[in-house]
Structure 1
Amino acid sequence: MAGGNVIRKDIPVALYYQLKEEIRRKILANEWAEGSRIPSEAEIAKMFDVSNITVRKAIDELQNEKYLVKKRGRGTFVLNRSIGQKLHKFYSFSEELTTMGIKETAKLIVFQEIIPEAFIREPLQIGAEEKVFWIKRIRYMDNKVYAIEHSYIPVKFVPELTGELVDKNGLYKTLRMFHVFPERAIETFSAVNISREDARDMNVMVNDAAINLTRVTYSGADIIEYCQSIVNGEVFHYTVELK
C-alpha cells in the first residue's frame, strides 16, 4: 500500500522525523505487529517516496528507542511491548497521585511565550515562527521533589492560557477548561545522570541516576504538548501493564 501522501514535503518538519512518527503509529496501532518483520529499507523508501538515507535514520532512531531491532541477515523486526513504548493508559501525574491519596503539588517556575528551538518544534510539528508557551514546574510528592518538568504548548490552541491558571488548576485541567482535551500520549523513557541545575532543584547529588521522560500529547489529531521531564527514580517509579 502506498504511503507517500503521509509524508509532507511542504512543511518545516524533517522527513525522517515524519517517517519515524508514522512507523511508530503503525506499531502502536498494531498495523505492524510486535515480533513481525517490517518492510525493507528500499520498500519503505518506495512506499513513502523518500530516500534510503531518510528511512535508515528513522529506523535507527526507532531502534534506539526500543521499537525496532535489526537482525543480521533477517531484516528489521518490531520489538515486543516494553517501557519504551507505551503504558496501559493515558494518565496525569497529579491526578494519578491524588487518586492514590498522595499529596502532590507543583511550583510554577517559568511561564513564557517563546519562539522555540528546532528540538521543540519538530515533535510539535509547528513552523519556525510559531510561538509556544514554555511552562517549567517543579513537582513535589509529599513535599519531596520528584520531577522537573518543561511543557511546551502551541499558543494557537490556547491563546488565553496564563501562568496563574496553570498554577491554580494544573495544566491538563486548565486545557480542558478551554475545551482542549488531552486524550493520548506517546512517551519515551531513558536513564540519565542529573545535571547540576536539576540536582540543585531536586536537592540531590550531581550525576545521580534519574529517568528522562519525554511526552507528546494529542487531542484528536492535534499535537497539543511536548513535555520533557527529569524524574527522581528514588521517589517515583513506573509500573507498566503488558498485554
Structure 2
Amino acid sequence: MNKIAPLYARVKQDLKNRVTSGALAEGDFLPSEPELCAEFGVSRITLRRAVKELCEEGYLLRQQGRGTVVSRRPIAQQLVTLTGFSEAFKAEGAVTHQVLDVEEVRDDKASVLRDAPLLRINRLICVDGRPLTLESLFIDSEALPRVVGPVSQGASFFETLRDTGGPQPLAAERTLAVGFATPAERRHLGVGPTDPVWRIDKTVLAAGDEPIAFSRLVTPTHLITYSLRT
C-alpha cells in the first residue's frame, strides 16, 4: 500500500485491488470487520470509510443482515439508446425474461396507449440468470394481438415486434427518478431497503409518434450507469 496516502485510502485501494484482480470475486463476502481491522491495523471508523466509498463506486454492496458483498460491475448504457434488453445487454451474457404474472388492468400513465384496460406483463429481466431489472410492460392486446402470446411466454418485446411484422420502434420518451425498492421489488431484485434503484417510465413510439408500448422499469443503481449525450 502507498504509505503516503491517508490510512483509509490505503485500505480502500488494497480492497479495490483484490476486487479488480479477482482475488475477491463477484458474490464473495468481505471478511468480518474485526478480521479486516486486525489485518490492516486500523480502527472500525477507518475501515468503514474505505468500504463506504467502495460501495458508492459500485465495487461493493452492503446487504442488510448478511454483510458486504462484491458487486457486479455496473453496465454502462446510453439513456437515449432505442433497443430492447436482449440487444442492449447481449455483450454481458444471456438475457432472459421471467414472466411473473399477466393481467388486464387500467393504469393512468399507461393510458397513453388507449383509455381502456391494457395487458400488463410483469417480468424479471436477468442476465446470465442474475436479476437486473423488474419491468411492468403494458401493451394494447387488440392492437398487437400477435405479440401477446410470445411476450407472455418470455420472449423479447422488440424481437417479437420485428418477427411478427408489427410496428417498429422509432423513438422513446423516458422519465427517470431514483428511489428505494418496495418489499416485493426487493425480493425479486435481491437488494436491501436502503439500496437505491432507478425508476424509469418509458413510452415506445412508432412512426408518427404513435405509442405502441409503455414500460415501468426498476433497476438497482449499482447494476447500471446511464449516460446522456446531447
TM-score, length of structure 2 as denominator length: 0.59
Matched, 1:189 2:176: yes
Matched, 1:105 2:96: yes
- What residue number does 2:224 align with? 236
- What residue number does 1:116 align with? 106
Q: Against the structure 1 CA distance between its residues 165 and 191, is the aligned structure 2 distance closer, same or farther, given a 3 Å change threshold? A: closer
Deviation at 1:231, TM superposition (A): 0.6
Secondary structure in 2 matching 1:217: strand
What letter corresponds to residue 144 of structure 2 in structure 1? V
- What residue number does 1:93 align with? 85
Alignment of 1:27-106 (within 5 A): 87-98=79-90, 100-106=91-97
Choose the corresponding residue for 2:153, options 167, 175, 179: 167
What letter corresponds to residue 101 of structure 2 in structure 1? V
Matched, 1:138 2:129: no
In 1: Cα distance, 2:223 partner to 2:140 partner: 31
Unaligned runs of 5+ in 2: 1-77
Q: Against the structure 1 CA distance between its residues 164 and 217, is the aligned structure 2 distance closer, same or farther, given a 3 Å change threshold? A: closer
Aligned-residue identity in percent: 16
Secondary structure in 1 matching 2:159: helix
Q: Against the structure 1 CA distance between its residues 146 and 89, is the aligned structure 2 distance closer, same or farther, given a 3 Å change threshold? A: closer
Q: Taking CA–CA contacts closer than 8 Å with sequence separation of 6 or more, which of the two structures ends up with the larger relative contact order?
A: 2
Secondary structure in 2 matching 1:161: helix
Deviation at 1:239, TM superposition (A): 2.6
What letter corresponds to residue 155 of structure 2 in structure 1? N
What letter corresponds to residue 238 of structure 1 in structure 2? Y
In 1: Cα distance, 2:169 partner to 2:159 partner: 9
Across the aligned residues of Structure 1 and Structure 2, the Cα RMSD in angstroms comes to 2.0
Deviation at 1:232, TM superposition (A): 1.3
Secondary structure in 2 matching 1:117: coil
- Checking the alignment, whether the CA contact within 8 Å between 2:121 and 2:138 is kept in structure 1 is yes
Once the two structures are superposed, residues 52-94 of structure 1 have per-residue CA deviations (whole angstroms, 9 ceiling, x without a partner) of: xxxxxxxxxxxxxxxxxxxxxxxxxxxxxxxxxx934312222
Q: Against the structure 1 CA distance between its residues 168 and 139, is the aligned structure 2 distance closer, same or farther, given a 3 Å change threshold? A: closer
What letter corresponds to residue 87 of structure 2 in structure 1? E
- What residue number does 1:204 align with? 191
Secondary structure in 1 matching 2:97: strand
In 1: Cα distance, 2:120 partner to 2:80 partner: 28
Secondary structure in 2 matching 1:149: strand
Secondary structure in 2 matching 1:160: helix
Deviation at 1:106, TM superposition (A): 1.5
Once the two structures are superposed, residues 156-214 of structure 1 have per-residue CA deviations (whole angstroms, 9 ceiling, x without a partner) of: 32123334455353111112214221111011111011111100111111242010011
Alignment of 1:139-158 (within 5 A): 139-158=125-144
In 1: Cα distance, 2:215 partner to 2:142 partner: 17
- Checking the alignment, whether the CA contact within 8 Å between 1:158 and 1:178 is kept in structure 2 is no
Unaligned runs of 5+ in 1: 1-85
Q: Which has the larger radius of gyration?
A: 2
Deviation at 1:140, TM superposition (A): 0.9
- What residue number does 1:59 align with? none
Q: Against the structure 1 CA distance between its residues 146 and 161, is the aligned structure 2 distance closer, same or farther, given a 3 Å change threshold? A: same
TM-score, length of structure 1 as denominator length: 0.56
Q: Against the structure 1 CA distance between its residues 120 and 179, is the aligned structure 2 distance closer, same or farther, given a 3 Å change threshold? A: closer
In 1: Cα distance, 2:96 partner to 2:184 partner: 20
* Larger fraction in strand: 2
